[in-house]
Structure 1
Amino acid sequence: FKAGIDWCRRMMHRTALALRRRTSLAQHLLSDFEEKLQSFQSYVIGLRKIHSYALDQI
């Protein structure tokens, strides 16, 4: 059995499969977004100091 591109497209349409998934236009941020962002930034800054990374390496 050798499937062509048209067969694959029809099969995917028939079975409601997709290669991409639509995202909602307005995605909501988590309630603790700012806290997590600050924590991550502190973590990255700490690693940068420990390992002496230049800013262009991040």
Structure 2
Amino acid sequence: MSLLGKKFPAPFARPMAPFFVAGLVIMYGVNAAQTAFMNTAEFKNDPRNPNAKPVQSGH
């Protein structure tokens, strides 16, 4: 006895392929937008920005 119930031999990958592709396109677009925003003047010196230059201490 299975915990998930009866298995049905329905196709999964082929009908869902456009949604997988759309998800990848959205993730790429969000990544490109975040990268572009990280390099703008407003966020260039933000300490949370991984591309920001480290603050030099006066020691």
Which TM-score band (shorter chain)? 0.3 to 0.5
TM-score using structure 2 length: 0.39
TM-score using structure 1 length: 0.39
Greater fraction helix:
1
Q: Higher RCO, 1 or 2 (CA under 8 Å, sep at least 6)?
A: 2
